[in-house]
Amino acid sequence: MTDTLETPVLEDGGAPEGGAAPKRLFIKTYGCQMNVYDSERMADVLRPLGYAPTDTPEGADFVILNTCHIREKAAEKVYSELGKLRQMKDEKAAAGQGGMTIAVAGCVAQAEGEEIMKRQPAVDLVVGPQAYHQLPELLTRTARARGERIGADFAPNEKFDALPATRGTEGVTAFLTVQEGCDKFCTFCVVPYTRGAEWSRPVAAVLDEARALADRGVREITLLGQNVNAYDGEGPDGKPFTLAKLAYALADIPGIERIRYTTSHPNDMSDDLIAAHGDLDALMPYLHLPVQSGSDRILRLMNRKHGRQKYFDLIDRIREARPDMALSGDFIVGFPGETDRDFEDTMDLVRRVNYASAFSFMYSPRPGTPAATMAVQVPDDVAKTRLHALQALLTEQQVAFNQSLAGRVLPVLFEKKGRHGAQAIGRSPYLQSVHVGDADHLIGRSVPIEIISGQQNSLTGRLIQTN
């Protein structure tokens, strides 16, 4: 999961036919990379209607809040943002500058659509994640009468078939959604309720989109899915295709040099996927594999459907296949009923696995999930103390991992200019940002770089060749 991202999604919002001035589209994206991807697709589908992206809501003709339900107080944040937008909308109308259509999209829209329409009259449209391809039609209908709400009435394939592929993508890295939804029903999580059942895009559609990305200069693709390693798409012969097979097929596309995928569930780390990490160079040695807790008792209460030993065994097998694999995870502390002993089990698991990076959060109840009604909630101050201890350990491991790379030569894929002179910033195979001086002529290329030092969140390197 990422923090809020404001999304100036496209670089070339073309003017509408007939030469009229482009209409301004502002999309604010909350939450995970899948939402970032969806925002780009929404901008793409609106482009033919003359909407060009803008990076501020002031004066925008169409504002979309693409919401996320994972974080604490997600709905409250949306309502607070809507309050500000309502004021802007009123001011714009009062100044005679035309209307502002306001839409709420994403998981909060899916979960609380009717409530949103009731509580905030400035909202014109609520649209759930499976209906983004309907935005042009919905907009037209909204212009006639406020109050459209489209939820999960569409199958995911209808959405993907109808959305234009990756037109707004720029740069050398791109996300590509291959799977949506989740059947796991972890007791703390809203995703199975907001995104629906697991569904995989057909292989041909994924490969077409990847080829289009490669043609635009993309060299690294991150495959997205709520349970991406549960990918089970229909192959060319109509038979099921695993994520490992998909990775091999993607690696054959000229131009695609790097493949990543996120987020994975331990129970879906299949043998062929682990083996692929051992013999497919394009599959990067970085794996985000959330475990959430190191306590068997808490894992059971979370309905994670595996224990700590199974996770350890899995990590051993992955490291056997790919010894330099950098591991990342997600942790929740203060889950209902978590004792000091349970928390110690989490600390012990972290020490044993040794993460290169990780995300950790304090548990907060999500309405409608089983954990929200569990009897023994952990007091905030206890959870906070545990979170600090866990984060200190994870930071120590992350710094140690980054520093351990000093002196190594790593392939760095350069993505953009840095802040200082001709500095450029790229990514290592382990996903850290790498800052290199006099390298801006290398943007778009993967080049061996000598790592000089490792900091908490990035590496510093220098060129060992300049051609």
Binding residues for ligand SF4, per CB under 6 A? 182, 184-186, 189, 191-192, 226-227, 265
Cβ–Cβ < 8 Å for 80, 44: no
| Smallest gap from residue 366 Cβ to ligand SF4 (A) | 10
| Smallest gap from residue 4 Cβ to ligand SF4 (A) | 20
Query: CB neighbours of 149 closer than 8 A, spacing ≥ 6?
Result: 113, 114, 117, 125, 126, 127
Residue 29 parent element (H or E): strand 23-29
> 159 vs 265, which CB is nearer to ligand SF4?
265
> 110 vs 432, which CB is nearer to ligand SF4?
110
Nearest-5° angle of CA 229, CA 232, CA 234? 150
> 169 vs 187, which CB is nearer to ligand SF4?
187
Calpha distance 293→302 (Å, rounded): 9
The distance of Cα 251 from the centroid of its chain, to the nearest Å, equals 21
| Smallest gap from residue 181 Cβ to ligand SF4 (A) | 8
> 2 vs 185, which CB is nearer to ligand SF4?
185
| Smallest gap from residue 89 Cβ to ligand SF4 (A) | 34
> 57 vs 290, which CB is nearer to ligand SF4?
290
Tokens of 99: 């209307």
Cβ–Cβ < 8 Å for 446, 398: no
| Smallest gap from residue 398 Cβ to ligand SF4 (A) | 22
- Strand, coil or helix: 215: helix
Calpha distance 60→97 (Å, rounded): 10
> 122 vs 372, which CB is nearer to ligand SF4?
372
In this structure, what DSSP letter does residue 49 have?
Answer: G
> 182 vs 390, which CB is nearer to ligand SF4?
182
- Strand, coil or helix: 451: strand
The distance of Cα 309 from the centroid of its chain, to the nearest Å, equals 28
Burial of 450 (0-12, 13-18, 19+ CB in 10 A): middle
Tokens of 263: 């987020």
Provide the strand spans (E) within 238-356.
240-242, 258-262, 286-288, 326-333
> 71 vs 216, which CB is nearer to ligand SF4?
71
**Residues of 108-139 as b/e, b for ≥16 C-beta within 10 angstroms?**
bbbbbbeebbeebebbbbbbbbbbbbbbeebb
> 226 vs 242, which CB is nearer to ligand SF4?
226
| Smallest gap from residue 17 Cβ to ligand SF4 (A) | 41
The distance of Cα 136 from the centroid of its chain, to the nearest Å, equals 25
Calpha distance 127→111 (Å, rounded): 11
Crossing angle of helices 243-251 and 203-215, in 10° steps, is 30
> 66 vs 264, which CB is nearer to ligand SF4?
264
| Smallest gap from residue 360 Cβ to ligand SF4 (A) | 14
| Smallest gap from residue 304 Cβ to ligand SF4 (A) | 7
| Smallest gap from residue 74 Cβ to ligand SF4 (A) | 14
| Smallest gap from residue 197 Cβ to ligand SF4 (A) | 11
